[in-house]
Amino acid sequence: MALLAVIPALTVAGCGAVVWSSRGGPRWVRGVATASLAAGELVKRSGRNRTRNNGGSTDGSVE
């Protein structure tokens, strides 16, 4: 149950770090923003691979 609260909190914190970093935040915020963007890219790629491996279509149509 705690995991369900931690994941959204980390997501919001990562988004905040990206915004703060774009406005010239401290060095550690830029590091957190880079890590957040990299994690998002990994999640996006894993979703593509999962769809491709299941033979699903990516156009959103339901058969």
Q: What is the pTM of this model?
A: 0.65
Measure the CA–CA gap between 5 and 52, rounded to whole angstroms: 30
Tell which wins on pLDDT, 1 or 39.
39
Would you say residue 12 has pLDDT above 90? yes
**Is the Cβ–Cβ distance between 58 and 44 less than 8 Å?**
no
Single-letter residue type at 63: E
Residue range 53-62: mean pLDDT, rounded: 58
Measure the CA–CA gap between 38 and 17, rounded to whole angstroms: 13
Length reported for the chain: 63
